[in-house]
């Protein structure tokens, strides 16, 4: 079964996800930074707090006191580092693009990705999340769920690099923005609900394609 067939099976099972859950492009960026090593439930609390404090805009975050910002986003964990990451991104945005996200996003994917990765606190997954969901450009996101699923399906090794996994998807799939968004979201759903650290294979909608599941049957 190829990636498109897997995607179709996941859509049939979970339905369309409509990711990223955010009202603005800037909210996507803040969420992408805050969700590092944190559950989305905790990020939602922090986003709600930022909105309540009128801090969910580039200008407001630029002016915000860092200690206050730490208190507001406390729910996400590592809040000291994440407050600094948010401030570092905002400072970069103002120093280079006058605080204008459209100016940042008005460049090709390769240049945009390189710039995002140059900012302290933004790694490959965060950069690709920003490109895909905020800039609305097709750059496939790889997260821990996706890496685990691809390894268990036998489509990649456990030690396959982020970049190689990303290229696996981008070479096999049409370069389609909505497809990239939906597929990433569906893989997250699969990872959260079935392909956990201790997998629930009997309920998995694509178990018949999974090498790890087939191996487990042989051992019974």
Task: List the domain boundaries for the chain.
Answer: 3-17+141-219, 25-134
pLDDT value at residue 71: 98
Residue 42 token pair:
């905790």
pTM exceeds cut of 0.85: yes
DSSP 8-state code for residue 135: S
The CATH code that applies to domain 3-17+141-219 is: 1.10.1670.10
pLDDT value at residue 19: 94
User: In this model, does residue 24 exceed pLDDT 80?
Assistant: yes
The architecture of the domain spanning 25-134 is Orthogonal Bundle (1.10)
What is the percentage of the chain residues whose pLDDT exceeds 70?
A: 100
pLDDT in tens, 108-135: 999 999 999 999 999 999 999 999 999 9
CA distance 210 to 48: 39
Contact of 187 with 142, CB cutoff 8 Å = no
Contact of 134 with 28, CB cutoff 8 Å = yes
Q: How confident is the model at residue 220 (pLDDT cuts 50, 70, 90)?
A: low
pLDDT in tens, 133-188: 999 999 999 999 999 999 999 999 999 999 999 999 999 999 999 999 999 999 99
Indicate the average pLDDT of the chain: 97
């Amino acid at each position: 079964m190829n990636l498109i067939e897997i995607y179709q099976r996941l859509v049939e099972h979970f339905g369309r996800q409509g990711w990223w859950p955010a009202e603005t492009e800037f909210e996507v960026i803040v969420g992408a930074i805050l969700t590092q090593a944190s559950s989305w439930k905790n990020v939602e609390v922090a986003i709600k707090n930022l909105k309540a404090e009128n801090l969910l805009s580039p200008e407001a975050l630029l002016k915000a006191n860092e200690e206050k910002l730490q208190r507001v986003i406390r729910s996400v964990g590592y809040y000291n580092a994440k407050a600094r990451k948010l401030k570092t991104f905002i400072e970069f945005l103002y120093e280079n693009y006058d605080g204008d996200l459209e100016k940042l996003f008005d460049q090709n994917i390769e240049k945009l990705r390189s710039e995002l990765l140059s900012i302290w606190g933004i790694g490959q997954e965060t950069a690709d999340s920003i490109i895909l969901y905020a800039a609305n450009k097709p750059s496939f996101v790889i997260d821990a769920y996706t890496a685990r699923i691809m390894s268990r399906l036998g489509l990649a090794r456990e030690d396959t690099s982020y970049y190689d996994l990303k290229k696996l998807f981008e070479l096999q799939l049409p370069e389609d923005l909505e497809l990239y968004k939906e597929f990433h979201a569906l893989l997250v759903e699969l990872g959260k609900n079935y392909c956990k650290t201790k997998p629930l294979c009997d309920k998995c909608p694509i178990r018949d394609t999974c090498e790890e599941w087939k191996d487990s049957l042989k051992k019974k």
